[in-house]
């Protein structure tokens, strides 16, 4: 059980890091350049910026490199093996999922920062895994057993909520979700 929890966390680290880093570093030019969609609402909104995207993805990849180094140096073969491809896909996929979520969120009329339960918590998992299925499906089938998947689905909303509440209290995030 503990090993499954550790494996799930180890797999998701490069996907967990980008969101909080984007919240800390974000700002400046929005990814949609302030443009509106055909429905008159913003394409993505001011909560998705280039700085947040670049810093978040780079941080996720940097932590992934640390994982690869730790794995090789300390022979952590009981953990899933991250690769250059997996860390890039997980980090970028997490924020791609976040952007996809914001796009749909705007289309259904929810404002930037408004809570959208389930989607707000699972966007990063969906984005990371869909991108992985497209570019490196073998990695998923080798590393993500169904037990690990279940743990990821339980662990992610708990961590997401915890980190966001902390972010809210230290004034990094505007909302505690
Ligand atoms: N952020 C960013 N760029 C990104 C993702 C996040 O700059 N690509 C920053 C923004 O400052 C954002 C904060 O991180 O406000 C929190 O992210 P999130 O909760 O995903 O955005 P929301 O502001 O809630 O917007 P949305 O309703 O579109 O999810
Ligand atoms: Mg939000």
pLDDT digits (tens, 9 = 90+) for 51-61: 999 999 999 99
Question: Could you say which ligand is closest to the alpha carbon of residue 59?
Answer: 1
Whether 159 has a pLDDT exceeding 90, the answer reads yes
18 Cα to the center of ligand 1, angstroms:
11
pLDDT band, residue 158 (cuts 50/70/90): very high
Share in percent of the chain as helix, strand, coil (round to 5): 70, 0, 30
**Quick one: which atom of ligand 1 is closest to the CA of 164?**
19
Do 21 and 61 form a contact (C-beta atoms < 8 A)?
no
Please give the Cα distance from 29 to 11 (Å, whole number): 31
Whether 14 has a pLDDT exceeding 90, the answer reads yes
pLDDT of residue 84: 98
119 Cα to the center of ligand 2, angstroms:
10
**Quick one: which atom of ligand 1 is closest to the CA of 113?**
24
């Amino acid at each position: 059980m503990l090993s499954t929890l550790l494996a799930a966390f180890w797999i998701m680290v490069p996907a967990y890091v980008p969101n909080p880093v984007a919240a800390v570093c974000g700002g400046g030019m929005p990814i949609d350049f302030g443009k509106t969609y055909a429905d008159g609402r913003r394409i993505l909104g001011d909560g998705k910026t280039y700085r947040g995207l670049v810093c978040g993805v780079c941080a996720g990849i940097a932590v992934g490199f640390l994982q690869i180094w730790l794995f090789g140096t300390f022979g952590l073969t009981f953990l899933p093996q991250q690769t250059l491809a997996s860390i890039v896909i997980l980090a970028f996929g997490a924020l791609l999922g976040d952007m996809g979520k914001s796009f749909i969120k705007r289309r259904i009329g929810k404002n930037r920062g408004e809570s959208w339960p389930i989607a707000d918590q699972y966007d990063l998992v969906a984005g990371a895994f869909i991108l992985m299925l497209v570019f490196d499906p073998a990695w998923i089938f080798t590393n993500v057993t169904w037990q690990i998947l279940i743990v990821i689905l339980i662990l992610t909303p708990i961590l997401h909520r915890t980190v966001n509440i902390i972010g809210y209290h230290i004034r990094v995030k505007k909302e505690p979700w």
